[in-house]
């Protein structure tokens, strides 16, 4: 597995984050992302996976927040050309470590019930399936709630 350079993002990374967001089938509002990064919403951490030691090429990012005393993985996206290389996994693990550093004992998330790629990724990292939330998204899609105790327990072969 190629390891990405995982770094916190700031306003200088806004353009690259918007680019990755636009390539996602589930893009967030650009207005919200811009506000988060330019105003500096301290409740949210944007965590980037960069291709090299610098920040020239953003491959993907995760957004970590909190809800009801747990860490909440609010978003995760990887550029289409760089998927299936472990970067989504690395970002999720980094978000989990960040949540642990913040004192959370669990990391939760919601994912579309139809999003088999993301469901498989989270399942492979030990996230347990919780409630199904019907009509959760604005288009009527259902969400699957998932959560994992921290630290994540990662199978050694995952890093080979
Ligand atoms: C979901 C997403 C972030 C995964 O990123 P990624 O970098 O491709 O993920 P990884 O390479 O770490 O994949 C880890 C595992 O997840 C599963 N997985 C990932 N993509 C998959 C796919 N398209 N089909 C089936 N399983 C998939 C596999 O088990 C994979 O392990 P493997 O490649 O050894 O088989 C990426 O597909 C994406 O950006 N999708 C659009 C946005 C999105 O759905 N975000 C999730 C919001 S909750």
Cβ of 115 closer than 6 Å to ligand 1, yes or no, is yes
Instruction: For residue 122, give its domain range.
Output: 5-153
* pLDDT at residue 157 greater than cutoff 90: no
* pLDDT at residue 160 greater than cutoff 90: no
Number of domains in the chain: 1
pLDDT of residue 154: 87
Whether 158 is in a domain gets the answer no
Question: For the domain that residue 140 is a member of, what is the CATH number?
Answer: 3.40.630.30
Residue 61 CB partners (closer than 8 Å, separation 6+): 9, 17, 20, 46, 47, 48, 49, 75, 76, 77, 91
Residue 135 has a CB neighbour count (10 Å cut-off) of 10
Whether 160 is in a domain gets the answer no
pLDDT of residue 58: 98
Residue 40, phi then psi, degrees to nearest 5: 80, 65
pLDDT of residue 40: 78
Whether 159 is in a domain gets the answer no
Whether 18 is in a domain gets the answer yes
Whether 48 is in a domain gets the answer yes
Cβ of 86 closer than 6 Å to ligand 1, yes or no, is yes
């Amino acid at each position: 597995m190629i390891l990405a350079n995982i770094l916190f993002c700031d306003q200088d990374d806004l353009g690259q984050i918007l680019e990755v967001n636009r390539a996602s089938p589930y893009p967030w509002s650009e207005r919200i992302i811009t506000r988060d990064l330019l105003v500096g919403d301290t409740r949210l951490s944007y965590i980037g996976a960069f291709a090299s030691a610098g920040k020239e090429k953003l491959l993907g990012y995760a957004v970590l927040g909190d809800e009801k005393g747990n860490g909440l993985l609010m978003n995760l996206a990887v550029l289409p050309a760089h998927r299936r290389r472990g970067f989504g996994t690395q970002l999720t693990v980094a978000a989990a470590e960040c949540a642990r550093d913040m004192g959370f004992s669990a990391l939760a998330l919601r994912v579309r019930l139809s999003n088999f790629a993301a469901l498989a990724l989270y399942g492979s990292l030990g996230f347990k399936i919780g409630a199904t939330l019907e009509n959760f998204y604005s288009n009527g899609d259902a969400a699957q709630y998932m959560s994992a105790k921290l630290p994540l327990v990662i199978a050694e072969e995952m890093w080979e």
